[in-house]
Amino acid sequence: MAPKPICIDGFNPGGCQLENSTGVSVSITGDINTDEGAAITIRGGSDNTLTSSGNINVVEDVLSSGVQLDNTSGNRVTINGDINIFGERGGLLAEGIFVVDDSYDNTIQTGNITISGEEDAVGIYISNFGTSSLGNTIQTGDITISGGDDGGYGIFLDGAWNDTIVTGNISIEDPFAAGIIAVDSDGVSIQVNGDISLIGGDTVAIGLLDSDSTSITVSGDITTAHDAIEVIDSSFNTITLNGKVSANAGDDAAIYVNSTSDNNTFTLNQGSVIDGRLHNDGSNNTLKLNLGAGRSYALETTGSSSWTIEDLNNRPMVTGSAYGIGVGNMETQGHEMYQRTYQINQTLQQRQLANYKGNATPYWINSYYNESSRSGSANLSSNNLQFSNHRSGINLGYRVTQYEQPIELLFNYENSSMNHDDFNHQISSDSMMVGVLMPNIQHIAGGELSVNAMVGISDFRGNRQVMTNSAGYSGMRTIGSDYQAKHYVVGAGWLKALFKGEMLQTYVNIGADINHQRMESYREEAYYKFDSRDITQLQTRMTLAVDAQPFNNQLNINVNLGVENRNMIAGTQQGLSLNNTKTEYSHMNQTNTYLTSSLNISYPFTNTISAYAAYQYFDSGDDIKMSSGQIGVSGSF
C-alpha cells in the first residue's frame, strides 16, 4: 500500500496525510475518492487544522478509514460532507473515524458515516493498544452500517479516557451488532441525538465492560434483537434514556447489570418506555424515574439485588419491583369540583339578579359548552400538571310563586371529558344535579340575601396509560376504571344595587358555597385501588355587575367582573394501594384564585319570551384558563 501524498490546499482527490506536522492549516476542496487505506491521516505532530468541503468515499480492499488520527494531539478536523465506505471487494475492517495510540485533545467533526458490505465495521473507533486516548471530541451525523457478517459497531471504545462523542441516529444491520461498546474506558461522555436501531441475532445497544464513570445519553428509541443495555464489571456510570427501549420485543433485558457492577444510575426521562427485563445483580444501582407527574408505571425487576428506586415527580410509588401512579385526577380534583358547579353558579347569579330587578320569568332553559386547560411546565411537576377539560350541559329551571318567598327549582345535566398529561389519564363523566334557589330570603344591609342547595351524582369512566415491562404489552398497557361520586352543595349570596340609572345599573354580588364530594372506592384493574374520599371545599366569590339597556329596553347587556376562590378544607389526602401496598397522596393545589369575566345579552322576542346568550372567561393563579359559551330562553309558556 503506497503512502498517501501530503495534504495540501485545494484538491486532494485520492486522499492525503500529515506526518509529524505541527501547526499546519489545510483546506481541502471537493470530494476524496480512494480505494485503499485511510482517506485522511494525521500521524504524529500536533495542533493542525484540516477542513474538507466535500464527501469522503472509500471503496475498501482490506483495511480502510475515513479519518485516522495516530499518536497525535490538539488537531481539529472538520469534514463538511459525509464519510462513505463501500466494501465492494470483500473488505475485512473499516472505520469511519479511527483514533489510535495515545492521541489526545483532538476535535473531529463530520457529517453522516455510512459503511456497507464490510466484514467488520465501526463508525467511531478509539483503540489504544495498551495506552489510552484522552480528551478527544468527536461529533458526527448519523451512523449507518449494513451488509456485514462478522461485526458492526456504531461506537467502539477501547482504552478511552474523558473523550466526548456526539452522534445522530445509529442504525446497524449485522449478525453481531452493537450501538455503543466501551471497554476499559473511563470518564467518557456519549450523546446519541436520535435512535439506536440494531438488526441481527446477537446485538446489544449499549455495552460497558470494565468501564467506570462514563455518561451516555440517548434521546431517541432503542431497538435490539437481544439485551438493550449491558453493564459488566463497571461502576459509577450514568445512562440517561428519553425514548422507548425494546429488548427483543420485551423477551430480553432492557437493562442488565452483573454482580460486579455497582453504583450505576439509569435515568428514565419523560417519553421513556421500558419493554424488557430490569435485571440487577450488583449493589447500589439506581433507577431514577423522571417520567412526568401524569405517567403511571408498573415495572417488574429481576436479579439477586434490589434496585434503588427514585421517583423525581412527587407521585405515589412503592418498591419491591417499582409501581407508581400518575397524579392525574387526584391533583386536579379540587379544580374539577369548582368547574362542576361553575356554570350552575353563573346561572343562579343571573336568576338572583332577575328576581332582584323584578323581571324573573317562571321558566328558563339554557345549554352551555366550556373548555379549560393548563399548559403545565413540561408536565414533570404534580404542582402544575397539564390538562384539558371539555364540558357541555343543560340547565332547566322553574320559578314557584305560590309561597310567600319565591323558590326556583333547578335541574342540571353535564357531560365532561378530562385529559391529563397528553392522554396519560383520561376521564369522562355524566352527571346530574337538582337543587333549589331562594333568591330573596332576607333583606340585609340594603341588599337581598339568597340561599341555595343542590345534590347530585356523577358516573365516571377512566382510562389510564401504564408503562409496564410485563410480557405481552410492548411497554404500555391501558387500564380502565368505573366509579361514582355524590355531590352536596349549600351556599348563599348577597346582591345589592350600587347605582340605578335609566339606562345603566351597577350591582355587587358576594357569595360563598360549601361544596362537598363523596368519591366511592374503586379499582383500576390489576395495579391500583383507590380508597373512598370525602372532599370539602369552600368556594367564595365577589362580582361587580353592570346592566345596560341602550335601545329602549329592547336589549339588555350585562357585564360581570369578579374574583373567585376555592379552598380545600377537608379531604386533602387520597389513600390508595399500588400492587396491594398501601400509600397515599397529599393534594398539592389545595387553593386557587380565579379572575372571572362574563358578557350576557338578552333580547325579548315577545312580551313573554326572551332569548339570551353569554360568554364567560376566567384565568387562575395556577395558570388555568377557561372559556365558555351559553345560549338559552326564558319566559312564560
Backbone phi and psi for residue 348, each to the nearest 5 degrees, phi listed first: -65, -35
Quick: pLDDT tens for 167-211: 999 999 988 899 999 999 999 999 999 999 999 878 999 999 999
CATH for 611: 2.40.128.130
Assigned C-alpha cell, 218: 440517548
Q: Can you tell me the distance from the alpha carbon of 350 to that of 395, in angstroms, rounded to the nearest whole number?
A: 13
Residue 366 domain-assigned (yes or no): no
Residue type, 411: F
Residue 387 domain-assigned (yes or no): no
Residue 260 domain-assigned (yes or no): no
Closest CA to 431 of 389, 397, 387, 461: 461
What count of other Cβ atoms lies within 10 Å of the Cβ of residue 570? 11
Of 144, 162, 193, the residue at which a domain comes to its end is 193
Q: Look at residue 60 in the predicted model and tell me its pLDDT.
A: 67
Quick: pLDDT tens for 323-375: 999 998 898 999 999 999 999 999 999 999 999 998 899 999 999 999 999 98
Answer for the pair 453, 436: CB distance below 8 angstroms, yes or no.
yes
Q: Look at residue 92 in the predicted model and tell me its pLDDT.
A: 66
Quick: pLDDT tens for 595-612: 999 999 999 888 889 999
Residue 237 domain-assigned (yes or no): no
pLDDT band at 88 (very low <50, low <70, confident <90, very high): low
Quick: pLDDT tens for 93-108: 889 999 987 788 999 9
Residue 401 domain-assigned (yes or no): no
Residue 65 domain-assigned (yes or no): yes
C-alpha distances out from residue 107 to 22, 48, 166, 168, 576, Å: 15, 10, 11, 17, 54
pLDDT band at 379 (very low <50, low <70, confident <90, very high): low
Residue 583 domain-assigned (yes or no): yes
Which positions ≥6 away from 57 have C-beta within 8 Å?
A: 31, 32, 33, 34, 84, 85, 86
pLDDT band at 89 (very low <50, low <70, confident <90, very high): very low
C-alpha distances out from residue 457 to 34, 146, 570, Å: 78, 62, 20
Which positions ≥6 away from 619 have C-beta within 8 Å?
A: 594, 595, 625
Above 70 in pLDDT, residue 133? no
Of 131, 159, 193, the residue at which a domain comes to its end is 193
**Total domain count, the chain:** 2
Note whether 335 and 189 are same-domain residues.
Answer: no
Of 154, 174, 193, the residue at which a domain comes to its end is 193
∠ at Cα 200 (196, 203), nearest 5°? 60
Q: Look at residue 93 in the predicted model and tell me its pLDDT.
A: 81
Residue 364 domain-assigned (yes or no): no
Quick: pLDDT tens for 560-575: 999 999 999 999 999 9
152: containing domain: 1-193
Beta strands in 87-219 (DSSP E): 93-100, 107-109, 113-116, 120-127, 133-134, 137-139, 143-146, 151-158, 160-161, 164-167, 170-173, 176-183, 189-192, 196-199, 202-209, 215-218
Quick: pLDDT tens for 209-236: 999 999 999 999 999 999 999 999 999 9
Query: What pTM does this model have?
Result: 0.90
